[in-house]
């Protein structure tokens, strides 16, 4: 992808996942903005050390400037993200529901939808996809490889908007992974903790084969 064609990436969440993604995207030549918790002090200093080249922004600045928005906050704080302002943006849900961290959320435990579908319902106009969540943040940089490597690891993208999936697939390829289009958003359940693709080192073919039989999850 030419530099001029690269979308601006905005990341909500300056934790381990958000900063790992920021480093990968900056290293791949992307313009990256990041917004952290308003309670977090010295965010500018932190980002200059752990994700140099990333620009710290307010939520409003990030939304206004970004073409692709990645939400990488703890799942329990997902409702604090300004979903209502995302309009028709491509929004990547990179979160995982972790009861040991988030506590058991009764309405989520009782909901048959994938967590990405739950988040997408916060703004039906947003073009929500699920990705980046099933590879550990500590593995993202270690496992990234140049295109064509026979050992390249795969990363899935699912969503109800095919064009949004294609945008994110290009991002995945640029940061060093083979993108696998897993289809509609409901299939995102297979990428969640405790499900087939989560945390596994898989090739593109292995990941595609693993996701294909889970179409019933969308039913």
Residue 196 pLDDT class (50, 70, 90 cuts)? confident
Mean pLDDT lowest for which of 50-59, 76-85, 98-107, 208-217?
208-217
Residue 156 CB burial class (10 angstroms; 0-12, 13-18, ≥19): buried
Assess contact for 133 and 155: CB atoms under 8 A.
no
d(CA 133, CA 140): 10
pLDDT at position 218: 41
Q: What is the mean pLDDT of residues 91-105?
A: 93
CATH number at residue 185: 3.40.50.720
Task: Identify the three-state secondary structure at position 212.
Answer: helix
pLDDT at position 100: 86
Residue 1 pLDDT class (50, 70, 90 cuts)? very low
Residue 39 has pLDDT above 80, yes or no: no
Assess contact for 214 and 187: CB atoms under 8 A.
yes
Residue 10 pLDDT class (50, 70, 90 cuts)? very high
Percentage of the chain beyond pLDDT 70 is 93
DSSP 70-124: EE-S-GGGGGGS-GGG-TT-EEEE-----HHHH---HHHHT--S-HHHHHHTT-T
pLDDT at position 148: 86
Q: Among candidates 44, 90, 97, 45, which has minimal Cα distance to 75?
A: 97
Structural domains counted in the chain: 1
Pairing of strands 154-159, 9-12: unpaired
- What element of type H or E holds 68? strand 68-71
- The range of the structural domain enclosing residue 60 comes to 3-218
Q: Among candidates 180, 164, 15, which has minimal Cα distance to 98?
A: 15
Task: Identify the three-state secondary structure at position 56.
Answer: strand
d(CA 47, CA 111): 36
pLDDT at position 123: 97
pLDDT at position 215: 43
- The pLDDT tens digits for 144-185 are 999 888 899 999 999 999 999 999 999 999 999 999 999 999
- What element of type H or E holds 33? strand 32-35
pLDDT at position 216: 42
Pairing of strands 154-159, 127-130: antiparallel
Q: What is the mean pLDDT of residues 33-50?
A: 87
d(CA 200, CA 47): 29
- The pLDDT tens digits for 64-86 are 999 999 999 999 999 999 999 99
Q: What is the mean pLDDT of residues 88-106?
A: 93
Percentage of the chain beyond pLDDT 90 is 84
């Amino acid at each position: 992808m030419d530099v001029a064609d690269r979308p601006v990436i905005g990341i909500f969440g300056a934790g381990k996942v958000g900063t790992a993604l920021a480093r990968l995207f900056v290293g791949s030549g992307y313009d990256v903005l990041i917004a952290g918790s308003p309670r977090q002090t010295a965010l500018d200093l932190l980002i200059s050390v752990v994700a140099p080249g990333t620009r710290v922004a307010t939520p409003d600045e990030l939304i206004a400037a970004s073409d692709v928005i990645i939400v990488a906050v703890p799942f329990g704080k997902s409702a604090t993200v300004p979903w209502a302002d995302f309009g028709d943006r491509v929004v990547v849900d990179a979160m995982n529901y972790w009861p040991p961290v988030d506590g058991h959320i009764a309405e989520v435990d009782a909901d048959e939808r994938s967590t990405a579908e739950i988040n997408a319902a916060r703004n039906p106009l947003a073009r929500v996809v699920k990705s980046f969540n099933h590879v550990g943040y500590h593995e993202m940089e270690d496992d990234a490889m140049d295109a064509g490597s026979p050992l390249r690891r795969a990363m899935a993208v699912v969503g109800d908007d095919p064009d949004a999936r294609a945008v994110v697939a290009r991002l995945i390829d640029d940061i060093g992974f083979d993108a696998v289009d897993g289809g509609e958003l409901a299939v995102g359940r297979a990428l969640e903790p405790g499900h087939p693709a989560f945390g596994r080192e898989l090739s593109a073919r292995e990941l595609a084969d693993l996701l294909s039989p889970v179409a019933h999850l969308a039913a």
